[in-house]
Amino acid sequence: MAYTSREAFFAFRRSPLLTALSIATIAFALYTLSVFGLVWTNIDRVLADVEERVEVIAYLVDGTDPTETSALMREVAAYPEVDSIAYLSKEDALARARAELSDYSALYEDLESNPLPASIEIALKAGYRDAADVADVAARIARFAFVEDIKYGEDWVQKLDFLQNLSLFLGLVVGGVFAVIAFVAIGATINIVLISREDEIAIMKMVGATRSFIARPLVIEGFIKGVLGAVIALVLLTFTYSLLEQRVVSLSFYSPLQVAGGILLGGALGAVASIMTLRRHLATW
């Protein structure tokens, strides 16, 4: 064990340039990946916020019997898609209109009769807020005779749907491509390190070193490089983040757990890339 750890750290002193190069590669790869991840999670968060606002509004015919209204509400509340349901009376609707449209408050002053209909506002559970589910719920409610009109922002629910699918697709594809590039870049620099030590590996094989004896310090070295690269990426990312935050837009950052996970991921990436590259160098004996 003493040998292994000594060897793993020795590499940093022995070939500082090559070591710096591979750490920088890992740092840059992880930085790119994490910036993308940050942008993606923020877009996703915005979309989720918007999605929270998806609701179905059923406008009722004036003079609808309150018992019928409550029967409708009980039935709709029992739909598996429905999260919550609220009744808005004509008076409440007018009060809300006055409050929300204060610029036009003159329009709502001195009205002889209240032109606004009573309505039921139906919020849907997460997972049922896509265009198809929303339309389906709306269609079921529309069947009630005393429902005069139903609105659920069909156009923008579909747009939101599209944006969310696009975001997921880009997240998986672009994120996946970045991850693969990161992995290949890390593998390539570790391969250079191994090629520079080919003579040494040949000597180890000659004097009877086992596979794990040769591999262990190199895998640990890969892990340490991965962790250092991830820490540098984190520093760069924090800097980028605060710059964006100050100058452009308010964003959410990774949680401490995600940061810790990212650093471990860097280490794992370095170790796994080392193992995979080593297999080629240790194929013949």
How far apart (Å, rounded) are the C-alpha atoms in residues 41 and 32? 14
Name the token pair of 128.
């049922």
The alpha carbon of 52 is separated from its chain's Cα centroid by a whole number of angstroms, namely 16
Tokens of 69: 């209204």
Two structure tokens written together for 115: 């032109």
Closer to other proteins at the Cβ: 14 or 159? 14
Distance between CA atoms of residues 257 and 263, nearest Å: 10
Where do the H-state alpha helices sit in 84-153? Answer: 90-100, 105-108, 131-142
Q: Which is nearer to other proteins, 33 or 201 (CB)?
A: 201
Contact 221/11 with Cβ under 8 angstroms? Answer: yes
**Shortest separation between residue 209's beta carbon and other proteins, angstroms:** 4
Q: At closest approach, how far in Å is the CB of 280 from other proteins?
A: 15
Q: In this complex, which beta carbon is closest to other proteins, that of residue 1 or of residue 78?
A: 1
At 104, which amino acid appears?
Answer: Y
Q: Shortest gap between Cβ of 282 and other proteins (angstroms)?
A: 10
Compute the least distance from the CB of residue 26 to other proteins, in Å.
25
- Cα dihedral across residues 67, 72, 78, 83: positive or negative: negative
Q: Which is nearer to other proteins, 145 or 207 (CB)?
A: 207
Contacts with other proteins by CB under 8 A lie at 2-3, 14, 199-200, 202-211, 213, 284-285
The smaller minimum CB distance to other proteins, of residues 147 and 214, is found at 214
In one-letter notation, the amino acid at residue 125 is K
Smallest separation (angstroms) from other proteins to the CB of 275 = 17
